[in-house]
Amino acid sequence: MDAGSLSFEQLQSVHDDLSGVFTLHQELMVCGEVALADEILDLFASLLEVHMNQEENHLFPLIIRLLKMAPDRAVPLIGEHERMMLLVRIFQVKMKDLLKLSASEQRRGIIDLLDQQSEFKHLFVSHDESEHELLLPGLNMITNVDERIQIISDLIRDWQRSVQRALPRLRDAQEFLTEHDRERTVN
């Protein structure tokens, strides 16, 4: 890692990873693959939890320092974490309920759930913007290079380990969608 160009914004790729997994879950729902969509939502929930725990344990403690040195960048983010996690838990319960329904009931349930998930997506995007525009640049201002190397490399390493564990199932789901598309093109 090049210490000179090291910045907390490098953690932003985690949000892209998360967003990709959530989109995969929704694409599977649109294809009517409720069981697989349910499985990918569970993976998403555990990855989101890992990411939020990382931020709460390693970045948010720095907010006290940020409040003293750059108070305009110390945005309140824990409440948003709680709201996002609560919504995801509700989606997980609804997905388990969908599995018990008939095909036509599932289709209507999927429409409702996609609707409800739009609030979560808005919150995810605005939270991402707050972290990207305020928190992460603020953390660059109040930390020295050694601190940044330590925190960022630890967080990226732990995140990649979590993604690696989820990767086989994510690849299977992605391949399923590719096959689904191929069949539609042929027919």
Contact residues for Fe ion, defined by CB under 5 A:
55, 131
Mark out the alpha helices in the chain (DSSP H runs): 13-30, 34-54, 63-69, 78-99, 103-130, 136-142, 145-186
CB of 74 to Fe ion, least distance (A): 13
CB of 65 to Fe ion, least distance (A): 18
Q: Which is nearer to Fe ion, 33 or 131 (CB)?
A: 131
CB of 52 to Fe ion, least distance (A): 6
Residues near 11 by beta carbon (within 8 Å), at least 6 away in sequence: 136, 152, 155, 156
Q: Which is nearer to Fe ion, 39 or 131 (CB)?
A: 131
How many other C-beta atoms can be found within 10 angstroms of the C-beta atom of residue 163? 17
With beta carbons less than 8 A apart as the criterion, state whether 28 and 40 touch: yes
Q: Which is nearer to Fe ion, 16 or 72 (CB)?
A: 16
Q: Which is nearer to Fe ion, 9 or 55 (CB)?
A: 55
How many other C-beta atoms can be found within 10 angstroms of the C-beta atom of residue 53? 12
Q: How far apart, in whole angstroms, are the C-alpha atoms of residue 119 and residue 123?
A: 6
CB of 79 to Fe ion, least distance (A): 11
Q: Which is nearer to Fe ion, 158 or 174 (CB)?
A: 158
CB of 66 to Fe ion, least distance (A): 14
